[in-house]
């Protein structure tokens, strides 16, 4: 029996064993549903981004949501308190279980 294309190794067994057993219609429905889920999560994330910083761009990638922004450093007497913000810097933002986390990626 010819075997189907190998499953991505990143996926858990309960998915890689279950998915190939579905018929074509179910697979297409699943594929469409996954797109909707991803879209929904990206919207959740965008809604969860609360910041006083100046966001320059929001980019959806395979790695996650990449945000480029200029920001305040938090020092009282810095030029950024007058609106001359630092950056732009790049951040990877993820949204899980109602919590937003920011991972610093470096200067843009
Ligand atoms: Zn500053």
Is pLDDT above 70 for 1?
A: no
Contacts of 49 (CB under 8 A, 6+ apart): 55, 58, 67, 93, 100
- Could you tell me the distance, in angstroms and rounded to a whole number, from the CA of residue 76 to the centre of ligand 1? 8
pLDDT at 90: 95
- Could you tell me the distance, in angstroms and rounded to a whole number, from the CA of residue 92 to the centre of ligand 1? 21
- Could you tell me the distance, in angstroms and rounded to a whole number, from the CA of residue 95 to the centre of ligand 1? 27
CA 7 to CA 29: how far, in whole Å? Answer: 18
Percentage above 70 pLDDT, the chain: 98
Average pLDDT, the chain: 89
- Could you tell me the distance, in angstroms and rounded to a whole number, from the CA of residue 10 to the centre of ligand 1? 41
Is pLDDT above 90 for 64?
A: no
Is pLDDT above 60 for 4?
A: yes
DSSP 3-state assignment of 34? helix
Residues surrounding ion ligand 1 at CB below 5 Å: 73, 78, 80
- Could you tell me the distance, in angstroms and rounded to a whole number, from the CA of residue 51 to the centre of ligand 1? 15
Residue 45 has, within 13 A of its CA and on its CB side, a CA count of 20
Residue of 47, 46, 50, 70 lying closest to 58 (CA atoms) = 46
């Amino acid at each position: 029996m010819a075997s189907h294309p190998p499953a991505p190794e990143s996926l858990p067994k309960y998915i890689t064993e279950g998915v190939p057993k579905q018929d074509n219609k179910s697979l297409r429905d699943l594929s469409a549903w996954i797109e909707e889920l991803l879209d929904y999560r990206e919207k959740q994330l965008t809604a969860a981004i609360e910041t006083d910083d100046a966001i320059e761009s929001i980019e959806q990638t395979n790695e996650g949501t990449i945000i480029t922004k200029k920001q305040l450093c938090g020092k009282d007497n810095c030029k950024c308190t007058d609106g001359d913000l630092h950056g732009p810097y790049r951040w990877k933002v993820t949204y899980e279980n109602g919590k937003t986390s920011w991972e610093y990626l470096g200067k843009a």
